[in-house]
């Protein structure tokens, strides 16, 4: 009996030693790589899911060791939601402690369709390429890093909008310029596509585009206003500027705002028609015309 007890005791010691060794090994850092990986914990994420996500991103060696140390350190209920900068060079214990102290102070950057670069708090931005969206930005990001995030999103959405494009007349650079006009001149995707077809008709016959938004841009560039995109006055139409599409035929030299996905899609997928004129009436609907007389009639009926 004593011998059996001794064998059992020895087995327990060996088992415990094995467990201890296993936990010790899996507490070690995954690697010596000190580069940061952004890791997000959402509100409501369970400790089990957090451990699985950490393991899948190779930030810990083993999810079970993470759970063990979280409980033994008494931090299992103190893991914070947020975005963290984590490194594979952290031990499991150190990583748990870091997760219990809260994430970095990220902030949301929202870019609205049709705004100019001056209306957004993004340094060194290029007009037309601040893709409208909401971006979660770490506070330590430089201006260049912020622009890289936005540019990556722009490139992705631009490529999506280009799929199956029917407008082969404009280069990608011209598409951005064209889309910036559509963004300011029409509201829905359908109306943007219809206006795109009309403006392409004007370009085809050498007719001036005659869009108010371009003149608004010219005016507000010359004299920075308290509020951008205010309605035009009669005097504004006479502004001397390459952006005055009442005086200069052809496409603009550069974008006038930052177009969203629908405007870019419409630039690539215009609706073909024989219309040359359009207005947005007081009824908030678009009204189209083939001739100037029809256009004037629409103005009389829907704008006066």
* Conformational region of residue 276, where left means phi above 0, alpha means psi within -120 to 50, and beta covers everything else: alpha
Which pTM does this prediction carry? 0.72
The pLDDT tens digits of the residues spanning 251-295 come to 999 999 999 999 999 999 999 999 999 999 999 899 999 999 999
pLDDT bracket for residue 14 (50, 70, 90): low
The DSSP symbol for 303 reads T
| Distance separating alpha carbons of residues 234 and 39, to the nearest angstrom | 55
Rounded to whole angstroms, the Cα distance separating 246 from 209 reads 7
C-alpha span between 175 and 250 (Å, rounded): 13
Q: Is the pLDDT of residue 11 over 80?
A: no
pLDDT of residue 2: 58
**pLDDT in the model for residue 17:** 54
- For residue 107, name the pLDDT band (cuts at 50, 70, 90): confident
Who's near 255: CB < 8 A, 6+ residues apart? Answer: 127, 128, 129, 176, 177, 179, 180
* Contacts with 119 (C-beta within 8 Å, 6 or more apart), sequence order: 112, 228
For 32-62, how does the pLDDT look when each residue is reduced to its tens digit (9 = 90+)?
998 888 898 887 899 999 999 999 999 999 9
Residue 116 to residues 152, 213, 257, 261, Cα–Cα distance (Å): 19, 12, 5, 16
Query: Is the C-alpha dihedral spanning 109, 243, 232, 197 positive or negative?
Result: negative
* Listed residue (32, 12, 11, 15) closest to 23, CA to CA: 15
Reduced to 3 states (helix: H, G, I; strand: E, B; else coil), residue 192 is helix
Mean pLDDT of 120-145: 90
Binned at pLDDT 50, 70 and 90, residue 3 comes out as low
pLDDT digit string, tens, across residues 192-215? 999 999 999 999 999 999 999 999
Q: 143-162 vs 172-185: helix axis angle to the nearest 10?
A: 90
138-188, pLDDT tens digit by residue? 777 889 999 999 999 999 999 999 999 999 999 999 999 999 999 999 999
CA–CA separation, 11 and 218 (whole Å): 85
Q: Is 143 exposed, middle or buried (0-12, 13-18, 19+ CB in 10 A)?
A: exposed
Residue in 199, 209, 188, 217 with CA at minimum distance from that of residue 280: 188
Q: Which residues pair with 136 in a beta bridge?
A: 108
The Cα 244–Cα 278 span in angstroms is: 18
Q: How far lies 277's CA from each of 184, 251, 263, in Å?
A: 16, 17, 19
CA 113 – CA 213 distance, rounded (Å): 14
What pLDDT score does 221 carry?
Answer: 96
Q: What length does the chain have? A: 304
pLDDT recorded at residue 208: 96
Evaluate whether 260 touches 182 at the Cβ level (below 8 Å). no
Task: List % helix, strand, coil for the chain (3-state, nearest 5).
Answer: 45, 10, 45
Q: At what angle do helices 172-185 and 212-222 cross, to 10 degrees?
A: 100
Radius of gyration of the chain (CA): 30
- 104 vs 264: which has the higher pLDDT: 264
- What pLDDT score does 294 carry? 96
Dist. CA 260–CA 166, nearest whole Å = 19
- Place 124 in a pLDDT band, splitting at 50, 70 and 90: very high
């Amino acid at each position: 009996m004593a011998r059996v007890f001794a064998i059992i005791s020895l087995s327990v010691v060996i088992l415990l030693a094995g467990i201890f060794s296993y936990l010790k090994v899996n507490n070690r850092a995954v690697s010596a790589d000190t580069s940061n990986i952004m890791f997000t914990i959402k509100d409501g994420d369970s400790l089990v899911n957090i451990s699985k996500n950490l393991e899948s991103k190779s930030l810990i060696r083993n999810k079970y060791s993470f759970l063990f140390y979280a409980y033994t350190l008494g931090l299992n209920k103190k893991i914070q939601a947020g975005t963290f900068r984590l490194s594979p060079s952290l031990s499991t214990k150190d990583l748990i402690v870091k997760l219990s102290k809260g994430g970095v102070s990220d902030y949301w950057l929202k870019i609205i369709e049709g705004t100019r670069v001056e209306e957004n708090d993004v340094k060194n931005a290029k007009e037309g390429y601040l893709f409208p969206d909401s971006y979660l930005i770490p506070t330590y990001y430089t201006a260049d890093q912020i622009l890289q995030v936005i540019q990556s999103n722009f490139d992705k959405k631009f490529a999506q909008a280009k799929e199956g494009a029917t407008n082969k007349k404009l280069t990608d650079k011209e598409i951005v310029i064209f889309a910036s006009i559509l963004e300011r001149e029409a509201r829905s995707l359908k109306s943007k596509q219809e206006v795109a077809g009309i403006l392409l008709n004007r370009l085809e016959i050498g007719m001036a585009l005659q869009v108010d938004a371009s003149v608004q841009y010219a005016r507000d560039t010359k004299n920075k206003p308290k509020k951008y995109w205010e309605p035009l006055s009669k005097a504004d139409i006479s502004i001397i500027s390459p952006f005055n599409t009442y005086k200069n035929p052809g496409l603009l030299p550069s974008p006038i705002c930052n177009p969203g996905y629908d405007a870019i899609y419409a630039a690539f997928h215009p609706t073909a028609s024989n219309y040359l004129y359009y207005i947005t009436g007081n009824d908030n609907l678009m009204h189209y015309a083939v001739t100037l007389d029809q256009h004037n009639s629409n103005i009389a009926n829907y704008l006066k």
